[in-house]
C-alpha cells in the first residue's frame, strides 16, 4: 500500500535493526485518515471470505481492526492483555511472548464474542516472529471458529513470523513488507 509505505519512510524511526517505531501514526498517536484507507484495503482483500468477525489484540491492533470491521460491516473483538474484574468467565486464553516487551503474558477473549459459527479475520499492527498471531489463532481454534485470513499493517519480512503463519496454510496479507532497515534507509519488498 503506497500511502502506508510513504508514511513509514517519512515518519518511521528505526530504533535497531529489528525494531521500527511508528508512534506518530499507529502505535501512540493515530492517523485516522490512514486507518480508514488501511481498513478499506483489508476489506477489499478479504471481501470474498465471508468474514463474520474481526479479531485483534490490544492496543495497537484496534484502530486498523475497527476500520476494517466497519467496511466489512461486522463486529470487532480485541484480545485483552490485562486481567479485568469484569472479564472472568467463559474465557479462552493463550500465552504470548511479546517481541517489544520481551516478557510472556496471557491474552484472553470471551467465549461470548468468538464462537464456532465465526469465520474470523485476524488483524495486527506488526508481524515479527508471529507470537502474537499464533496466540490469536490458538484462541480462535479453542472457540471452534475458522480463520479466513490474517491482515498485517507492517510485516518485517526479515523475521520469521510471516513464514510461520503462511506455512500453516493461512492466507496472510501485509500492507507493507520491510525487507531490511537501517537508521537512514528502509527497503520494502
Ligand atoms: P510478534 O508476536 O510477531 O513477534 O510481534 C508482533 C507484536 O509485537 C505486534 O503486536 C507489535 O505490537 C509488536 N512489534 C513487533 N515488532 C515491532 C516493531 O518493530 N515495532 C513496533 N512498534 N511493534 C512491534
In a domain, 20, yes or no: yes
In a domain, 68, yes or no: yes
Q: For residue 28, what are the domain limits? A: 2-83+94-168
Q: What is the pLDDT of residue 20?
A: 98
Residue 152 CB burial class (10 angstroms; 0-12, 13-18, ≥19): buried
ipTM of the complex: 0.99
Query: Which of 132, 150, 160, when mutated, tests ligand 1's pocket best, judged by the most ligand atoms within 8 Å of its CB?
Result: 132
The model's pTM is 0.96
Domain with residue 32: its CATH number is: 3.40.50.2020
* For residues 164-186, average pLDDT: 97
Number of separate domains in the chain: 1
Average pLDDT, the chain: 96
Q: What is the pLDDT of residue 120?
A: 98
In a domain, 64, yes or no: yes
In a domain, 179, yes or no: no
For the chain, give the percent of residues with pLDDT over 90. Answer: 91
Check whether 16 has a pLDDT greater than 90.
Answer: yes
In a domain, 150, yes or no: yes
pLDDT digits (tens, 9 = 90+) for 136-172: 999 999 999 999 999 999 999 999 999 999 999 999 9
CA of 127 to the centre of ligand 1 (A): 6
In a domain, 70, yes or no: yes
In a domain, 173, yes or no: no
CA of 99 to the centre of ligand 1 (A): 6
In a domain, 41, yes or no: yes
Amino acid at each position: 500500500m503506497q500511502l502506508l509505505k510513504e508514511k513509514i519512510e517519512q515518519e518511521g524511526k528505526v530504533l535497531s535493526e529489528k525494531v521500527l517505531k511508528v508512534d506518530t501514526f499507529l502505535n501512540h498517536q493515530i492517523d485516522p485518515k490512514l486507518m480508514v484507507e488501511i481498513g478499506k484495503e483489508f476489506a477489499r482483500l478479504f471481501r470474498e471470505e465471508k468474514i463474520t468477525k474481526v479479531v485483534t489484540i490490544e492496543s495497537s491492533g484496534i484502530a486498523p481492526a475497527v476500520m476494517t470491521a466497519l467496511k466489512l460491516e461486522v463486529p470487532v473483538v480485541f484480545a485483552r492483555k490485562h486481567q479485568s474484574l469484569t472479564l472472568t468467565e467463559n474465557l479462552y486464553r493463550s500465552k504470548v511472548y511479546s517481541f517489544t516487551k520481551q516478557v510472556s503474558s496471557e491474552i484472553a477473549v470471551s467465549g461470548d464474542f468468538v464462537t464456532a459459527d465465526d469465520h474470523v479475520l485476524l488483524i495486527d499492527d506488526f508481524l515479527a516472529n508471529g507470537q502474537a498471531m499464533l496466540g490469536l489463532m490458538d484462541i480462535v481454534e479453542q472457540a471452534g471458529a475458522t480463520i479466513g485470513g490474517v491482515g498485517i499493517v507492517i510485516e518485517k519480512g526479515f523475521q520469521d513470523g510471516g513464514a510461520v503463519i503462511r506455512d500453516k496454510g493461512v492466507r496472510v496479507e501485509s500492507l507493507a513488507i520491510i525487507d531490511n532497515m537501517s537508521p537512514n534507509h528502509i527497503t520494502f519488498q
